[in-house]
Structure 1
Amino acid sequence: MASTAERKEYPISMRLPESDVAMIDRAATLRGRSRTDFVRDAAVRAAEEVVMEQSFIRMSPEGFAGFMEVLAAPAMPVPAMVKLAKRPAPWEPGYEPKR
């Protein structure tokens, strides 16, 4: 008796203008990926983003109160960020590249 394997991949077909395909191919090449891999990855990331935008975060009243307390607290300076913000930018006088 022959058994049929469950299908695990499904084809998706679409028509695109030549300019879109050229852009996709260029980007895929820059990433070192095939067109199919590149498009699949981009589509899945976009889909995940949409789904996450629609997801609710549930927490207890106590957890929410703690969350709001942290948000309402004054910001604490991060020494490394303060030092970085005070460094001159590469286009400003006084800039010295790290060696």
Structure 2
Amino acid sequence: MPRAVKRKEHPLSMRLPETDIAIIDRAAALRGRSRTDFVRDAAVRAAEEVLMETAPIRMSSAGFKAFMATLSEPAAPVPEMVELFQRAAPWESKAFTSEVDAGSREENASKQKARSGKRR
């Protein structure tokens, strides 16, 4: 007598506008995944976030005291963060500024050329 095989997968059907499907397909293609894999992953991730936001955190009394003691200690600087905040921002460098200026000049010149062509 054949045994019934229990399915591990359950279908999920959704009706979406074409614009939503197009966005999902573009994003899935950029990740190199199928639409199904992409949507499944996004839905599970969103569900996990909701569950983590609402899940109570349980710990022993000793664990809670240790946690509170750690929070009560003075903050210690993180060397990597200190170094990061001491760096100049990319837009503060001369190379970046000259690239932006060159791009702006070219863009303005092409706009002006287009405007002068329309006036004639």
State the TM bucket, normalised to the shorter chain: 0.7 to 0.9
Which one has a larger percent helix, Structure 1 or Structure 2?
A: 2
Structure 1 residue 93: Cα displacement: 4.0
- Partner Cα distance (2:94, 2:66) in 1: 44
Cα distance in 1 for partners of 2:17, 2:93 equals 48
Runs (4+) of structure 1 exceeding 6 A deviation are none
Equivalences for 1:42-61 in 2 at 5 Å?
42-61=42-61
* TM-score of the aligned structures, taking structure 1 as reference length: 0.88
Unaligned runs of 5+ in 1: none
TM-score (norm 2): 0.73
* Aligned-residue offset at 1:19: 0.7
Matches within 5 A, 1:1-99: 1-93=1-93
Instruction: Decide which structure has the larger Cα Rg and report it.
Output: 2
Q: Bigger relative contact order, structure 1 or 2, given CA contacts below 8 A and separation 6+?
A: 1
> RMSD value over aligned CA atoms?
1.5
